[in-house]
Chains A and B, each alone.
Chain A
Amino acid sequence: MRLKIFLVLLFGSISFFSCKKEDPLTVDDISGLGGDTWARTALDKWLYDTLVVPYNIATKYKWDQSELELNKSIVPPKEEKVIPVMRSVKKVWMEPYILQGGELFFKKYSPKLFVLAGSASWNMDGSITLGTAEGGRKIVLYQLNDFKNKTMAGYVPADSAILKQMFHVIHHEFGHILDQNIRRPVAFDEITKGFYTADWINTDDYSARQDGFITAYALSSPFEDFVEMISIMLIEGKPGFDNIVNSITGTSIRGTTEDQAKAKLRQKESIVINYFKQAWNIDFYTLQLRVRNAIVNEIY
């Protein structure tokens, strides 16, 4: 009996004192919800018409600290550099892939966000970063304020280093996307198995090549190796790549002979070419020619 009275009181107190739930449909006007807005300029229109409408690729050139490393001093780009850079990106990366792989292929796999920074990103050791990428979706390009191609006043050949680095990053990252969608052949990882090391940072490109790696960064892991191959082969072109391979001399510290190193790079090259044909039905040599020609038009 007492228990019954107790329960009645308990129930009563719950129903009397419980809160009224708020109507979930009234929402404040939250500042910044839905992204940043500003008055559109001719530049915004160019980016929208050239990259958003056809390929759904957004370009963030206005400062947004959250897109960049929080612990670095970086500045936004000069507005007048944005169109020249994105125009070059379109010529050197988008157009060759669209022509070889088709528009559908490109729209399906291209990263969807470019973030642009005016300065480089300085590292603790005094080196600088010229490009980074995240998860096949976002590519960050740095040092736009120093960007010059041969059509711009005051261009000197030394300026081509920044351009090539920029294109290298983009082709490298797009390589990752392709690799993640259709895996590279297992045989690739076998070629220089046992040589991959986290200590790649203390190696220079030349020593890496003596062991059959195209760059020092390729030493870090097979999947970086694979996309470094793609990227260097594309931006240097066939003759440039051949020059790199032929320039290898001597036996490496780790005991790879000159002939072995050259043979390993050639094996990797042929796997890349077959991969593009079988996985994506892309003729790599034609793609390579198109990319290299586009780069040559930018810098020479």
Chain B
Amino acid sequence: MNQNRIYLKISAALILFSVFIFSACKKYDTAFVQSPDERINTAISKYQSALTGSAAGWNATIRTQNGGIYHFHFRFNDSNRVKMFSDFNLETASTARESSYRLKALQTPALLFDTYSYLHLLSDPDGDVNGGDNGVGLASDFEFSLDSLAADSILLTGRVHGTKLTLIKATQQDFDTWQNGRWANTLAFENINKIQNYFRRLTINGVNYEVRINSVTRMLTFTWIDANGNTRQFTTSYYYSATGVVFVTPFNTGTQTINGLEVVSWDAGNSILNVKVNGVAATIAGATKPLRVDLSAPQRWWQTAANSSGYWISFDGFHVNGVDDAFGLKTIPNYYFVVYWPNYDPGSNDLFAPVFINAAGNGLELLYGAAPRAQFTTDGRAVFTNLGFYGPYPTTGPAQQSLNQLLLPQGYYFVQTGPGSYDMVSSTDAKAWLSMELVQ
């Protein structure tokens, strides 16, 4: 009985205590004096006045997800408009384009470039626009979280791809380098893609360097022969500055360190790019022969496929005199790729033919083909002769023109571009080539 009373007292005390706890008002010990909304509005208006406050605009540097570095110049006004330049290509470097922008609270304060601008060229999912993969482009952003604001710089991070964007307050001089075409002049570097020869050569102080450029990924590869007669290679990614090309990794040639190339001018008549290397004039021009011929490449190319019962294909066909698919293979209905099949008829001949998608759309078919044979010269060329045909090979049109090109009497040099890929380059002038990949 007595115990029961004690229990009752204890439980009454507990209930009372818990009521006290639950009904007690939690006093807010706020970390911030202002509410989240007030703070976000303050932040947005601070960024807004910073963006529009720079009379000469902002120098912007963007590093895309796959590492490419691009420069922009932004001028924001207070009615949601922005004018920009970009070193994306010649046009964007020389003509300013206006589009719109907005500051918006998207969890954090964010800067949105909300209609198409030069910035969107990097993000465009159409690979034809920027050379990236279809569906993602160059994996870049146009919606950015505003990370920090200092007196003359703003740091931002892309909301989808995590692209880093840095804005540095521009001086009038910075702005002028865009306006008076200095950047456009630098972009003339891309004209080396207009050199029709497969081989491009940079000559510095009498030493030749073979240059390979990938202007989509912005990578440069130099190949040269050192004092001991060995072939050497150096690859770096590059970006543009107002004066020229800057190497991300400096190039140590053995005699000097090259941090970049100053672009002087593009000589369209002779297809020569005039540059300066550490202040000394130099040129990049086409060459008809590789610096050092890979003597065993043609045989390696043939044997790789023959050994694995594989074959070489090219979707684009021959590139001739600066034109991709020069003979228009892609204009043949249902054309899929062109094949070179070493040892097609073992011990006797190879196969060269365009391959088509069948009528049902679920397979490939050969309608006709040529039966060439490859012969290898001691100076590193492959020469093709035709022994006959499979089926009615066309006597006119793209297929016939492609075969004629293949049978070029002087033959081809071969350049290995990857573990399963080769380019065969006309040995007459290096202006015709076929890029092939291995299928096995």
Q: In the complex, how many residues of chain B place their beta carbon closer than 8 angstroms to a beta carbon of chain A?
A: 44
Contact bitstring A29-42, B, C-beta under 8 A = 1, else 0:
11110001011010
- B347-382 at interface with A (beta carbon < 8 Å): 361
Question: Are the CB atoms of B19 and A14 closer together than 8 Å?
Answer: yes
Q: A191 to B134, alpha carbons, bound, how many Å?
A: 41
Assess A75 versus B37: contact at CB under 8 Å? Given A14-B19, A62-B100, A63-B115: no
Q: Which of A76, A120, A121 contacts B115 (CB 8 A)?
A: A76
B121-129, B274-282, B290-298, B390-398: which lies at the interface: B121-129
Q: A34 to B124, alpha carbons, bound, how many Å?
A: 30
Q: A73 to B122, alpha carbons, bound, how many Å?
A: 11
Assess A31 versus B41: contact at CB under 8 Å? Given A38-B100, A79-B115, A119-B125: yes
Assess A29 versus B37: contact at CB under 8 Å? Given A63-B142, A74-B125: yes
- A1-40 at interface with B (beta carbon < 8 Å): 2, 6, 9-10, 13-14, 17-20, 28-32, 36, 38-39
Question: Are the CB atoms of B23 and A9 closer together than 8 Å?
Answer: no
**Min C-beta distance of B308 to chain A, whole Å:** 27
Assess A31 versus B37: contact at CB under 8 Å? Given A14-B23, A75-B116: yes
B408: CB under 8 A from chain A?
no
Question: Are the CB atoms of B115 and A122 closer together than 8 Å?
Answer: no
Question: Are the CB atoms of A31 and B44 closer together than 8 Å?
Answer: yes
Neighbouring A residues of B100 by C-beta, 8 Å: 38, 41, 62, 79
Contact bitstring B94-126, A, C-beta under 8 A = 1, else 0:
000001101011000000111110001001111
Question: Are the CB atoms of A118 and B120 closer together than 8 Å?
Answer: yes
- A65-119 at interface with B (beta carbon < 8 Å): 65, 72-79, 118-119
Question: Are the CB atoms of B38 and A79 closer together than 8 Å?
Answer: no
A135: CB under 8 A from chain B?
no
- A-B Cβ contacts below 8 A, count: 109
Neighbouring A residues of B12 by C-beta, 8 Å: 2, 6
Question: Are the CB atoms of B20 and A62 closer together than 8 Å?
Answer: no
Question: Are the CB atoms of B114 and A63 closer together than 8 Å?
Answer: yes
Q: Which of A32, A73, A79, A145 contacts B104 (CB 8 A)?
A: A32
**Min C-beta distance of B181 to chain A, whole Å:** 24
The 8 A-B residue pairs with the shortest CB-CB distance in the complex, in nearest-first order: A39-B79, A122-B135, A28-B37, A63-B114, A31-B105, A62-B114, A19-B25, A78-B116
Q: A39-B80, A204-B361 are in contact. List 7 more A-B contacts (CB 8 A).
A: A10-B19, A14-B19, A18-B25, A30-B37, A62-B114, A63-B142, A122-B125
Selected A-B contacts with CB under 8 Å, 23 pairs: A9-B16, A10-B16, A10-B19, A13-B20, A14-B19, A17-B24, A18-B23, A28-B38, A31-B44, A36-B102, A38-B79, A38-B102, A63-B142, A73-B125, A75-B125, A76-B142, A78-B115, A78-B116, A79-B99, A119-B124, A119-B125, A119-B126, A145-B116
